[in-house]
Chain A
Amino acid sequence: MRSAVELARQWREDPRLRWLGYCAVAAALIALPFAVDAVLGRAWVRIIDVALLFILLGLGLNIVVGFAGLLDLGYIAFFAVGAYTYALLASPQFDLHWSFLVLLPLGAFVAGVFGVLLGAPTLRLRGDYLAIVTLGFGEIIRIFLNNLNRPYNITNGPQGITLIDPLALGELALNKSYAVAGFTLAPVHNYYFVFLACAAASIFISLRLEDSRIGRAWIAIREDELAAGAMGINTRNLKLLAFAMGASFGGVAGGLFVSFQGFVSPESFALLDSIMVLCMVVLGGMGNVGGVVLGAALLTALPEALRYAGPLQQAWLGDVYVDPSDLRMLLFGLALVLMMLLRPAGLWPSTLRRRELAGAGESGVAR
């Protein structure tokens, strides 16, 4: 035990050891899909892919909720905007087949614009109003996606858009299998590496943002908006920036998602999906990048594990009483309540948050 602590301290202090650690993590992440493929089967590689996408989404929402302290309950709408931007411009729907090199940045940009459009009129409102307005916005986007098939067919309504182009550069398309140095790279593996790169980039961006001038300004706004304003922070612009930034993460994730699925329909963007992403952020630890990654991974894997709940009930109780997907939602709801009551800073809280919450408890200051 002593040596483990010693090792951790050494690891933190010695740059050579630290690089060794990073290399080990990178090697493990590269080997992960093949190991999972061999042990648990290909379905689980797919689940890991989805988890990486959710890490991207969670980190985007973390900028809005965790850093800037703005509760956004319609975050999935930006995911939808990115997804439909990609789907409309790279599918037989309009017979357009743009490259993802254009579409992913475009998705991020369009989602960001939507973020500003939503934020501009609402950001001067108090936090809880903002929550309801964003929730309404999320529903409006879904209603429009569902109904924009008449009189002109734009989104193809509830049927959704099919045959969406995969990520491809010239002849190299990610939905084909390749053989590299004795390993078979199936589509799920290809996408794993792309998503891993995106997730790593978003983790890097989030970490750098957190320590930047902008990030510190966001945290100041979250703590006390009046005081932050008095210190010369342009609170309105910075809140808009947080919204746009978070939204563009969602937009990129949306584009990646539909290129991976090859199919998109409004059904994927319900309120419950917004809440699921929120759960990841809250459960993991609002404002802490590591916590959000942990939350996203946990909450993507948990429902898959719950799939065994049906057969287990059958075996033990003789009948399936609780549908596994309902059980998942029940557990989500319970988790939100219990987390707020027992561990409001999340499973892996940010050090700043933890200090604040402890301080607020001692002095009993009402906020």
Chain B
Amino acid sequence: MDIFLQQIVNGLVLGSIYALVALGYTMVYGILGLINFAHGDICMIGALTALTVAGALAAMGLPPPLVLALSAAAAVAVCCALGVSIERVAYRPLRRAPRLAPLITAIGVSILLQYSAALVWGKQYLSMPELVRPTEIAVGGVHLTDLQAFIFLLACAIMAGLLWFIRSTRAGRAMRATEQNRDVAGLMGVNVNHVIAITFLLGSAVGAIAGMMVVLYYGIGHYFMGFMLGLKAFTAAVLGGIGNVAGAMLGGLLLGVVESLATGYIGDLTGGVLGSNYRDVFAFLVLILVLVFRPSGLLGERVADRA
């Protein structure tokens, strides 16, 4: 039972990171109907930027909270610039092109980002400097580190902030209007290009924080880390109902828990035939199952096939 609870806690922490990345997918999908394939790699760039800046600042002997804040700021700035310029250069000219064109462009951008990162940072694993040694807290038989708690709470705060932004601000209302009907929103005086840029800006900023959380949590980063992260986050977005912001959050948390439980128990359940090395398979299985049985996701209302 303790192991069960422990896996759930681990899953929630991991899931909150997936949820943050999934937000980037779902917001862009909601407005443009585009799977921004490069989003996982934007998170990777954020993670590696944070890692480099943190390493440099820690070497200068700054206090850890300041190092964290500054490296997060650097990552967010880099990713925002990147996200907005990618939209401007690669996606905007293709807005009215046939469906496959922007998707193939997105794959191209993803490869470009990965191998540019390999050029800048090399192909080896990079380690995040340990700023604070995580201390364990025991809550009713479940162990979690203060780092895990920090990641989870920060992720929740960001999600709440984003929900508030979309529901209550003028820009958020413009986003929702654009999502419902881009042309009509334009007629009503919404600057659609502006709104799309804001969407990429928000998604990339949140993605940068998520990428930084990954390197904080695992202690290492790699030029290819965005691929799996992106796929799982996309799965989370589909699970929750793509285009639905609250759904992405729910989907992320759920996927984290499912993956954590499945990885923890698969060895026992199959008598040791399948081991935890099948970990990455679960996300895909969840994805396929959701798409087969409930393509609109848990919270989505839209039909999957709008012609």
Interface residues of chain A, those whose CB is within 8 Å of chain B, are 65, 69, 71, 73, 121-122, 124-129, 131-133, 135-137, 139-140, 143-144, 146-147, 150-151, 225-226, 271, 275, 278, 282, 286, 321-322, 326, 329-330, 332-337, 340-341, 344, 357, 360, 364-367
Contacts and interface: CB of A to CB of B under 8 A. Distances in A.
Nearest to B273: A151
B236 to A, nearest CB: 12
A136 B93 contact: no
A281 to B, nearest CB: 10
A336 B111 contact: yes
A52 B34 CA distance: 34
Given A129-B238, A133-B291, A322-B119, A336 B304 contact: no
Contacts, number: 139
A131 B231 contact: no
A121 B115 contact: no
A271 B100 CA distance: 18
10 contacts: A71-B103, A122-B291, A122-B292, A139-B284, A147-B275, A147-B278, A340-B105, A340-B108, A341-B90, A344-B98
Nearest to A226: B307
Interface in B112-127: 112-116, 118-119
A335 to B, nearest CB: 7
A128 B112 contact: no
Contacts of B34: 128
Contacts of B94: 340-341
B231 A136 contact: yes
B307 A225 contact: yes
Interface centre among B107, B231, B273, B280 (most CB of A within 10 A): B107
B291 A129 contact: yes
Chain A interface SS verdict (over half): helix
Contacts of B234: 132
A121 B292 CA distance: 6
A344 B231 contact: no
A313 B115 CA distance: 18
A150 B305 contact: no
B169 interface: no
Interface centre among B96, B112, B231, B304 (most CB of A within 10 A): B112
Contacts of B118: 326
B288 A133 contact: yes
B108 A333 contact: yes
Interface in B50-103: 90, 93-94, 96-103
Contacts of A133: 284, 287-288, 291
A128 B278 CA distance: 25
Given A333-B112, A336-B105, A344 B281 contact: no
A46 to B, nearest CB: 26
Contacts of B111: 275, 329-330, 332-333, 336
A129 B295 contact: yes
Contacts of B108: 332-337, 340
B239 interface: no
Interface centre among A144, A334, A340, A365 (most CB of B within 10 A): A340
A143 B231 CA distance: 15
Nearest to B288: A133
B112 A136 contact: no
A122 B114 contact: no
B272 interface: yes
Contact of B115 (A65, A226, A330): A330
Chain B interface SS verdict (over half): helix
Nearest to B94: A340
A142 to B, nearest CB: 10
A131 B292 contact: no
Interface in B235-290: 235, 238, 272-273, 275, 277-278, 280-281, 283-284, 287-288
A357 B100 CA distance: 12
B99 A127 contact: yes
B112 A337 contact: yes
B109 interface: yes
A336 B112 CA distance: 10
A367 B307 CA distance: 9
Interface centre among A121, A329, A330, A333 (most CB of B within 10 A): A333
Contact of B102 (A73, A122, A125, A340): A340
Contact of A135 (B231, B272, B278): B231
Contacts of A127: 99-100, 103
Contacts of B227: 271
A337 B88 CA distance: 13
Contacts of A333: 108-115
Interface string B116-150: 10110000000000000000000000000000000
A336 B107 contact: yes
Contacts of A143: 277-278, 280-281
B304 A129 contact: yes
A136 B284 contact: yes
Given A71-B104, A326-B119, A344-B101, 4 more contacts: A121-B291, A139-B284, A278-B104, A333-B109
